[in-house]
Amino acid sequence: MDIAMVGLGVMGRNLVLNMADHGFAVAGYDRDASKVEALRKEGQGKKVEGVGDADDLVAKLTKPRAVMMLVPAGAPVDSVIRDMLPRLQPGDLIVDGGNSHFTDTNLRTKALAEKKIEFIGVGISGGERGARFGPSMMPGGSKQAYERVRPILEACAAKVNGDPCVTYLGSGSAGHYVKMVHNGIEYGLMQLISETYALMKQGLSLNDDELHDVYAEWNAGELSSFLIEITADIFKQVDDKTGKRLVDVILDQAKQKGTGMWTSQDAMALQVPTPTIDIAVSMRDMSSVKAERTAASRVLSGPSHTLKRDRKAFLGQLRNAFYASMIITYAQGMAQLRKASQTYNYGLNPEAVARIWRGGCIIRAALLEDIRAAYQAQPELPNLLVDKKLGEQVMKRQADLRAVVCAAAETGIPAPGFSVSLGYFDGYHSEWLPANLIQAQRDCFGAHTYERVDEKGTFHTEWKSSE
Ligand code: 6PG
């Protein structure tokens, strides 16, 4: 067999079938016998073998061996490595296709290198359908190890104009880092979409059919993207149990597996502002304290949620506000990747990142072609907002973004994603920020020193107290 897959959950099983469709012989293994059985059934007539024993699995592989795993991040990954290690030989390769934290990937790469086992971390996006018919894959680690699985990954990946949505991204944990930031952007976009939903549902009293129509229309234009497309579909889905629209019987508490939080945490560590991603994580946390929110809603109140605006005009503003904020969200994620690449020596090529996100992944969007082109023209672009075309797109829509933020503030409909996206834009293009006052305060209360506009060096003043 060409490759083994350890972990036959939804993603693992579908990726095995995808590989087999492209002519590769794949052995799938899982400790859960029912999952092995499921693969045997689905893999009938294909070059797929479901294997229930780790020794058998390894014995079936051509040497040097390639073992890919798709298991939940954290302890399960280490457990698979522990399981495989005594069965492998120097020169064999382990591929972690899960959402591992990049620092874990660094540790594993180092520990396995000591045992002469190659290890690469590959972020895979696209959910169940992506895994089956073409995900976007984000590999990092040793280039030469990647070359060994490149034909398999390129064959299975989504294609955009024939170009596979996979490419070697960089050394060490580059692949898992890029996937983490992908998920941070995913969180930001999902928060912004949910805010457009609230503004239309509560502010304009649109019903689910009307919401479907708006998102479907948006998806036919510049906002065309996977997340807008599924959002349109979601409003049509009927609940089998009640006959109502399913979205209306789903509890308003968003869960998370942590990748958005990791993105924000590392952005903070790198000192890169990513407020749209940060607020998206915070609003999921806010959603999860439902009992507290319910109690607070009895004692605290804001203005009436009804928006007194012309419906058609406001929908146009909302669409523009979303497009501008979408650009601002990608700009934050790409800025984080730039800093991470410098700090962790990944050697990332931002154009390549944008290129492999154009298809297969959750954040795929028509906009990514403009982002790719921006980096092709200027690989050292410090921020997408200073790309001429993208910057103009935001500037053209800024009045509408401001109108949406005002509308949200006036009606008390929470839209912090739009608000901080606008704040990021305004902050980024401000030559002056009031940080001189913060420096003065720091020096005043803590003798932390300050720099001056008219002279180089660090200074401290004995500030006069009014006491
Ligand atoms: C993808 C997704 C996927 C992620 C889920 C759930 O790219 O296919 O990002 O990897 O695990 O979307 O993420 P949360 O549970 O954190 O929302």
Query: Tens of pLDDT along 376-401?
Result: 999 999 999 999 999 999 999 999 99
Q: pLDDT class for 184, splitting at 50, 70, 90?
A: very high
Q: Three-state DSSP class for 115?
A: coil
Q: What is the pLDDT of residue 319?
A: 98
Candidates 49, 186, 195, 229; catalytic one: 186
Q: What is the mean pLDDT of residues 49-60?
A: 97
- Is residue 27 scored above 80 in pLDDT? yes
- Ligand 1 centroid to Cα of residue 381, in Å, is 28
- Ligand 1 centroid to Cα of residue 178, in Å, is 13
- Is residue 467 scored above 80 in pLDDT? no
Cβ–Cβ under 8 Å, residues 97 and 9: no
Q: Which ligand 1 atom minimizes the distance to the CA of 362?
A: 7
Q: What is the pLDDT of residue 465?
A: 85
Q: What is the mean pLDDT of residues 324-349?
A: 98
Q: Which ligand 1 atom minimizes the distance to the CA of 284?
A: 17
- 450 burial (CB, 10 Å; 0-12 / 13-18 / 19+) is middle
Q: What is the pLDDT of residue 375?
A: 98
Average pLDDT over the chain reads 98
DSSP assignment of 144-160 equals: HHHHHHHHHHHHHS-EE
| Cβ contacts of 429 within 8 Å, gap of 6 or more | 385
Confirm whether pTM is higher than 0.85: yes
- Ligand 1 centroid to Cα of residue 266, in Å, is 18
- Ligand 1 centroid to Cα of residue 362, in Å, is 8
Cβ–Cβ under 8 Å, residues 10 and 128: yes
- Is residue 371 scored above 90 in pLDDT? yes
C-alpha distances (whole Å) from 384 to each of 88, 221, 335 are 45, 21, 8
Report the residue among 96, 99, 138 best suited for mutation to probe ligand 1: largest number of ligand atoms under 8 A from its CB. 99
Q: pLDDT class for 60, splitting at 50, 70, 90?
A: very high
β-sheet bridge partners, residue 12: none
Dist CA 349 CA 379 (whole Å): 7
Q: What is the pLDDT of residue 453?
A: 98
Q: pLDDT class for 242, splitting at 50, 70, 90?
A: very high
> Would you put residue 38 in left (φ > 0), alpha (ψ -120 to 50) or beta?
alpha
Q: pLDDT class for 466, splitting at 50, 70, 90?
A: confident
Nearest CA to ligand 1 atom 17: 256
Q: What is the pLDDT of residue 241?
A: 98
- In the annotation, is 116 catalytic? no
- In the annotation, is 179 catalytic? yes
- Ligand 1 centroid to Cα of residue 260, in Å, is 9
- Ligand 1 centroid to Cα of residue 177, in Å, is 14
Cβ–Cβ under 8 Å, residues 351 and 145: no
Dist CA 309 CA 311 (whole Å): 6
Percent share of the chain, pLDDT over 90? 99
Q: What is the mean pLDDT of residues 8-31?
A: 97
Extract the tokens encoding 306: 């009804």
What one-character DSSP code corresponds to residue 202?
I
- Residues 276-316 have pLDDT tens digits of 999 999 999 999 999 999 999 999 999 999 999 999 999 99
- Residues 68-126 have pLDDT tens digits of 999 999 999 999 999 999 999 999 999 999 999 999 999 999 999 999 999 999 999 99
Residues near ligand 1 (Cβ within 6 A): 99, 125-127, 183, 186, 255-257, 259-260, 361-362
Q: Which ligand 1 atom minimizes the distance to the CA of 254?
A: 17
Report the residue among 71, 137, 259 best suited for mutation to probe ligand 1: largest number of ligand atoms under 8 A from its CB. 259
In the chain, where the domains are located: 3-172, 179-428, 434-467
Question: Considering only CA atoms, which of 211, 220, 406 is closest in space to residue 317?
Answer: 406
Q: Which ligand 1 atom minimizes the distance to the CA of 190?
A: 17
Q: Which ligand 1 atom minimizes the distance to the CA of 187?
A: 17
- 228 burial (CB, 10 Å; 0-12 / 13-18 / 19+) is buried
Q: What is the CATH number of domain 3-172?
A: 3.40.50.720
Report the residue among 277, 362, 363, 364 best suited for mutation to probe ligand 1: largest number of ligand atoms under 8 A from its CB. 362
Cβ–Cβ under 8 Å, residues 138 and 175: yes
- 77 burial (CB, 10 Å; 0-12 / 13-18 / 19+) is buried
**Residue 428 backbone dihedrals phi, psi, to 5 degrees:** -65, -30
Q: Which ligand 1 atom minimizes the distance to the CA of 361?
A: 7
Q: What is the pLDDT of residue 406?
A: 98
Candidates 179, 195, 201, 229; catalytic one: 179
HSE (side-chain half, CA atoms, 13 Å) at 204: 23
Q: Please, what CATH class does the domain formed by 434-467 belong to?
A: mainly alpha
- Ligand 1 centroid to Cα of residue 183, in Å, is 6
Q: What is the mean pLDDT of residues 187-196?
A: 99
Question: Considering only CA atoms, which of 123, 173, 129 is closest in space to residue 357?
Answer: 123
Question: Considering only CA atoms, which of 349, 352, 347 is closest in space to residue 171?
Answer: 347
Alpha helices, H only, 43-158: 54-59, 75-84, 102-114, 127-133, 143-156
Q: Give domain 179-428's CATH architecture.
A: Orthogonal Bundle (1.10)
